Structure 1
Amino acid sequence: MQVVNIRQLKNNPSVALRYAKQDLVMVTNRDEPDSLIISMEQLSGIPNLEQVRLVLGISLFRNKQLSLMAAAKVANKSLSEMITIVSEQGIPVADYTQNEVEAEATFAEQWLHNNSNDEAA
């Protein structure tokens, strides 16, 4: 997969289009994946384009090249559908370290404790 940023795409779109004839081209905006370019020649003759889009979206999410929402857009699925699909594939939807999980749990416990005290008053 080739990668070009927005500035490169604006300055010389023919390079990105030439790359797209051979492979997928990821367009980044401020170092974040933004768009994919693929030539129509590469798509011609694909009997099940929806399945291809789904596999592409899953793959890009699994490889941490796209967010779950962006992958859902590639796959032409809603966010909830995509969450279900990647979960069924055994791909973690959230990627937290042990410390991050513990910090989130501590915050949630404190929030619940504070809110239960408010309701009791």
Structure 2
Amino acid sequence: MKTVNIRQLKSNPGTALAAARADGMVVVMNRDYPQALLVDLERLGVPNLPAVRVALAVTLFRSAAVSAGFAARTAGKPLAEMLTLFSSQGIPLTGNDESAADEALAEMRTAL
């Protein structure tokens, strides 16, 4: 197991990722204290890694951390399939709530 400090992680993240790929995990140190673990998903030993990638992509999209396209690429799925998955789980495809979307639609109709 390798350790890197935050400065090393910022300046050369590829080195930390390569170390995680080789050793399975890297401990990220903040000053002299362990702050985080960088874990290689393929070395984690989960029985269904593609399902884990889909779950991560859905979670990232739901929290508005990534776009639908990025989530689809992360999951290794076509965009249309991811949009269908989001919809089936009741995850809104836009950042607006339903009333805001209705208002925007009404404004567009009056503008036309």
- TM-score, normalising length: structure 2: 0.60
Q: What's the counterpart of residue 103 of structure 1?
A: 104
Matches within 5 A, 1:81-120: 81-97=81-97, 98-99=99-100, 101-111=102-112
RMSD in angstroms over aligned alpha carbons? 3.1
Label 1:14 to 1:51 Cα distance change in 2 as closer, same or farther (>3 A): closer
- The separation in 2 between residues aligned to 1:84 and 1:58, in whole angstroms, is 12
Deviation at 1:14, TM superposition (A): 6.0
Q: What's the counterpart of residue 60 of structure 1?
A: 60
Identity of aligned residues (%): 35
Q: What's the counterpart of residue 42 of structure 2?
A: 43
Q: Tell me the amino acid that sits aligned with residue 104 of structure 2.
A: A
Q: Tell me the amino acid that sits aligned with residue 59 of structure 2.
A: S
Q: What's the counterpart of residue 12 of structure 1?
A: 12
Label 1:89 to 1:99 Cα distance change in 2 as closer, same or farther (>3 A): closer
Provide structure 2 residue ranges, at least 5 long, that are not aligned to the other structure.
1-5, 28-37
Contact 2:16 2:26 in 1 (8 A): no
Deviation at 1:87, TM superposition (A): 1.1
Label 1:77 to 1:110 Cα distance change in 2 as closer, same or farther (>3 A): same
- The separation in 1 between residues aligned to 2:16 and 2:105, in whole angstroms, is 42
Contact 2:57 2:75 in 1 (8 A): yes
Provide structure 1 residue ranges, at least 5 long, that are not aligned to the other structure.
24-37, 112-121
- The separation in 1 between residues aligned to 2:82 and 2:14, in whole angstroms, is 33
Q: Structure 1 residue runs of 4+, over 4 Å off?
A: none
